[in-house]
Chain A
Amino acid sequence: MTPARPAALGCDAPILRERGQREVFCGLTGIIWLHRKVQDAFFLVVGSRTCAHLLQSAAGVMVFAEPRFATAIIEERDLAGMADCNEELDRVVDRLLARRPEIKLLFLVGSCPSEVIKLDLSRAAARLSVKHAGTTKILNYSGSGIETTFTEGEDACLAALVANLDADTSGAPSLMIVGALPDVVEDQFLRLLAELGIGPVHSLPARRAGAMPPVGPETRFLLAQPFLGETARALEDRGATRLDALFPFGAEGTTHWLHAAAQAFGVDEMHFRRTIAPGRERAKRAIEHSRERLAGKRITFLPDSQLEVPLARFLASELGMQPVEVGTPYLHRRLLAHELVLLPTDTLLSEGQDVDRQLDRVRAARPDLTVCGLGLANPLEAEGLTTKWAIELVFSPIHGFDQAGDLAELFARPLRRRDVLRV
């Protein structure tokens, strides 16, 4: 039922490490989904017009709905002297909090310009926290491109939260699901875990700033996302124990992920199987209609979100696709150990990027489907290659049993479209 635990991890296939031009988003982009998740948090980027322009381009029409993020744009006169810069920041924060009194948690988000001029946002956060004590907690993390790639922005944000979680002094074991999931997915997982008899279960991040979970030596945590290396380390530093599992994509991944929790909480094996059986069967039925289109098709992932390895595993083991190259911005071997063994042995794993050379490989291999960013998708389509744009995989609900069919469909749809068009 669950994939057998491997005797020896088979992830020592050679990995192609490249350096060169990287066609990736910076960590600021994480704000777009994080601010939707924590409903009384505000994200203030301290950066340049470029940062504001990026957020606007990434957020699309969302910027008009009185969103809970903004940019404090550094101007010429701020660059003149550091003291001035801090005063300016205080002024901006005061004005912001006066305008939005419902904000309980404010993140000062570092960017490339603020990091390069060494504006100390952690000190600013501490200073402002004192000033606004009792109403708003102020934290900081860096979403700069020089330090973070796309989803690593969430990792940096959650790691900053971990340092501020209350200590769990209850002495009783609890489970923490780590990673911002769409509410509908989170609710499904909470229902399943409750049926399994596992509890208490918390989510990080919680939906409200005041409801963040406590952490302690009795905390077990499951990563819902593969890009949370720093957060995992921060939780372990606070005594929590990570449950090692596949990531919850597809019927097998979700089963394995839930099974890790069941084992840690001593759930009876028969009860486990009975409880998850309906969801597991539904997931298998739901991906069945995409299998016909996807089986045997060759797929290449360009690096984007670190979801590439688990998704390639799902597509290979449950839908019969053949991964050609699986590129990832960073490879956390420790977190991906289970995933890596299940990838076909002839898969080329690459970490980092030299985009022009990687595109040469794509053109030479001509995979049936290339997963890539929006800057590359249309140009590759124009060369006759079918693409699936990667960002959608971060914004859509794709985890768990009941999203497995939708996840398969995301990959099947571009191929179906290619086949139906007669123009």
Chain B
Amino acid sequence: MQLTVWTYEGPPHVGAMRIATAMDGVHYVLHAPQGDTYADLLFTMIERRGKRPPVTYTTFQARDLGKDTAQLFQQAARDAFARFQPQAMLVGASCTAELIQDDPAGLAEAMRLPCPVVALDLPSYQRKEHWGASETFYQLVRTLADTHVRPAGRGGHRPRANLLGPTALGFRHRDDVIEITRLLGTLGIDINVTAPLGATPGDLARLGAADFNICLYPEIADTACRWLEKTFGQKTVRTMPIGHGATHAFIAEVAALAGVDPAPALDTSNLPWWSRSVDSTYLTGKRVFVFGDATHAIAAARVAQDELGFEVVGLGCYNREFARDLRDAAARYGVEPLITDDYLAVEEAIQALQPELVLGTQMERHIAKRLRIPCAVISAPVHVQDFPARYSPQMGFEGANVLFDTWVHPLVMGLEEHLLTMFRDDFEFSDAAGASHLAPLPLAGGVGKGPVDVGSAAAETSPPPVSSASGRGTWSPEAERELLKIPFFVRGKARRNTEKFAAERNLATITLDTLYDAKAHHAR
């Protein structure tokens, strides 16, 4: 058993729901106990969909166990077909139904429904949401793709590509699809099928007509893309067009595959100039911690280091399936890869590294808030505010613009806070009043001992020496007061560096000189 408060991923049948909800004409009959319908509100509330997910739950109860759950399943499937008339059906079991072993596959087959039925085998006690989505999409593609369909030859036709991977409840999938479709259009390439988002079973049948595939989200589409490679000989574009440079690389790869001129698409994002402008100089070497799904984390690390001039000090992901890719990327930045689905481990890493910016999921947003570190969201899981009304892709050139604004914004807020703390002795701006956009946190407020009474510090009364939280050295009153003059968003780092410096030299007391010696030592 694993003790859990927060999970980065839901169970695999939620992944299957993301595929069914993304598509049109597909209905999912899920053998599940009463209560599992909670997952509907992820789609109706977080993604704000105006339609119920196309899922029928058998919602069996205790009194049904041991007698008619199998019949209940068949009844639900029959009713769902009659009511929704889907072009294809998914059938499967949630975690509890997996235990009662009713075999939805066999039961559905025996019913001989007049549409293709894809039986899903999603091991709930081993796998998670992304795996469930990937497996569901793969099974649908395998079942529905017409293996006789082939590209129509190039005689005067524009090349065609499939755009694979966007789903319901995907982080910015809606706008990424628009951005990449526009970009391919500029290159003279048509989209054959976008799937699963917005696709029908009929569309999946036509997958073979494309000249090549674009794997937009490997977590969802990689398995299906491999099968398409094998079955149709279609090549796959695997570069993630997230960031300015990556978008260029993506265009080059696509253009080469399609045999078109890349030039028309090489219009540019504002990112390079924004990043070069002198206002961005202070971004240089900012220490950033990156965590999310592997795809977004790896892409974000590249943008952070190469395009914004940050230093990547931590890189991790929660989905084990792509751990190898993440390890390779971490090696490039010379950092220890963090592959975990335990948010406490992530919190520990962030606390130990004291980065100046955290790029992560909703969870890291809360950790960063607690530790008073600026943060931006780069990956699912996300909450409702990251399914925005406005256009905000992550991919392509507009995506690069969005990344620049989103990541720099919390840092600019940091500078504003710095200006405020310069006026710290004014009573309105007392340190104890807390930052305007961050919840007050005792941890980072003073040296090891919670919020500091700035009034008394300003009045030059000597606070008693305080031993630090980490136990390395004791801060002298002068050094402690000096530390408080450092803006809060770099104070944690300064404290850590100083204590490390003192520990290495076996200094029992951290004096004013130690503080500045350490500063000189760590100067870059």
Contact = CB atoms under 8 A, between A and B. Distances in A.
A219 interface: no
B3 A72 contact: yes
Interface in B84-103: 94-96, 99-100
A406 B191 CA distance: 53
Contact of B51 (A73, A149, A382): A382
Nearest to B43: A375
A267 B124 CA distance: 59
A419 to B, nearest CB: 20
Nearest to B99: A116
Interface stretch (A56-64, A185-193, A312-320): A56-64
A48 B11 contact: yes
A49 B7 contact: yes
Contacts of A79: 99, 125
Contacts of A46: 1
Contacts of A378: 44-45, 48-50
B53 to A, nearest CB: 8
Interface string A63-88: 11001011111111011000001001
Contacts, number: 179
A45 to B, nearest CB: 9
B389 to A, nearest CB: 12
B35 A112 contact: yes
B1 A78 contact: yes
Contacts of A22: 34, 37, 59
Contact of A49 (B3, B11, B62, B383): B11
A50 B50 contact: no
Contacts of B49: 378-379
B7 A113 contact: no
Contacts of B48: 378
Please indicate which of the listed interface residues A50, A60, A74, A376 has the most CB atoms of chain B within 10 Å of its own CB: A50
B2 A24 contact: no
Contacts of A13: none
Given A116-B65, A146-B33, A146-B96, A49 B124 contact: yes
Nearest to A79: B125
B322 interface: no
Contacts of B79: 20, 356
B1 A92 contact: yes
B89 to A, nearest CB: 15
B5 A63 contact: yes
A53 B10 contact: yes
A146 B60 contact: yes
B41 A374 contact: yes
A26 B96 CA distance: 13
A11 interface: no
A52 B7 contact: yes
Contacts of B65: 116, 146
B11 A50 contact: yes
Contact of A374 (B2, B45, B124): B45
Given A74-B1, A116-B65, A378-B49, A21 B59 contact: yes
Contacts of A57: 38-39, 41-42
Interface string A83-102: 00100110110011000000
A88 B1 contact: yes
A39 B56 CA distance: 38
A382 B50 CA distance: 5
B83 A356 contact: yes
Given A21-B58, A53-B14, A28 B35 contact: yes
A168 interface: no
Contacts of A381: 50
B33 A112 contact: yes
B38 A58 contact: yes
B399 to A, nearest CB: 27
A117 B95 CA distance: 12
A96 B65 CA distance: 33
Contacts of A113: 95-96, 99
A100 B382 CA distance: 29
14 contacts: A25-B35, A50-B10, A50-B36, A50-B96, A53-B7, A53-B10, A58-B38, A72-B3, A73-B1, A74-B1, A78-B125, A95-B3, A116-B96, A381-B50
Interface of A: 20-29, 46, 48-50, 52-54, 56-58, 60-61, 63-64, 67, 69-76, 78-79, 85, 88-89, 91-92, 95-96, 112-113, 115-117, 144-147, 149, 356, 373-379, 381-382
Top 10 A-B pairs ranked by shortest CB distance?
A: A26-B35, A145-B35, A382-B50, A375-B40, A112-B96, A48-B95, A145-B34, A374-B41, A145-B33, A64-B366
